[in-house]
Homo-oligomer: A and B are copies of this chain.
């Protein structure tokens, strides 16, 4: 998860049996990676691809790829592989792409500007349809083909677009407030870049991306690698008497 993401609607009630026909979360998290690899293959003119080749391109094991794809049906041909275009279509449909997803972005700081200009969104059908902020100096600014508006227009914007995705790129202090207003306006999917844990009702999905967290995880691994020679594999783990440098 991630890692690295938040689940808010899982394991709430119903501990009893369930038909269990859903696509597992871990598989869903990999589908966009497969999709990107498939697009690259298509651009290279490939029409079919084996699970081994696609798995290598996506950085996973071939057995895992096959099981993932089996969760959305049997679209491969034994002895041949998968047809690239067909697979692109099926994965896109499963992910709910192939339609336009309006995105409402709140917080037009450095990160918000980067997100607004990110080319990877439009390619997948995500169009940033509103840029909101509280800072008077930013309101009215042109970013791409959009104009920054005041966050008070949030409710109107959401209502006019219907189902949409909210992106929070504000400082941490404002995030919960913005989140509450989004939820109140009917947003059920939120991507949060602010470094806070958002409280939302169970029917709302939140995914969190925390840049600092990612670096800290890398720091941990580097720390472990560097200090590895202190650990001896003898039997029990003697406390390594770590020298605290700082």
Contact = CB atoms under 8 A, between A and B. Distances in A.
A74 interface: no
Interface residues of A, number: 92
Q: Report copies per complex.
A: 2
A79 interface: no
Given A97-B216, A189-B218, A222-B188, A58 B19 contact: no
A99 B246 CA distance: 6
B165 A215 contact: yes
A110 to B, nearest CB: 4
Contacts of A212: 32, 118, 120-121, 123-124, 126
A221 B31 CA distance: 13
A25 to B, nearest CB: 9
B17 A57 contact: no
A246 to B, nearest CB: 3
A17 B114 contact: no
Nearest to A37: B197
Contact of A18 (B18, B118, B236): B236
A223 interface: yes
A142 interface: no
A224 B98 contact: no
Interface in A59-116: 59, 93-99, 101, 103, 109-111, 113-115
A61 to B, nearest CB: 9
Contact of A6 (B59, B162, B191, B222): B59
Contacts of A110: 113-114, 117-118
Name, among A97, A203, A212, the residue most crowded by chain B CB atoms within 10 Å (CB to CB): A212
Contacts of A190: 218
A156 interface: no
Interface of A: 1-6, 9, 14, 16-19, 21-23, 26, 28-29, 31-33, 35-37, 57-59, 93-99, 101, 103, 109-111, 113-115, 117-118, 120-121, 123-126, 162-163, 165, 186, 188-191, 195, 197, 203, 205, 207, 209-226, 231, 233-237, 240, 242, 244-246
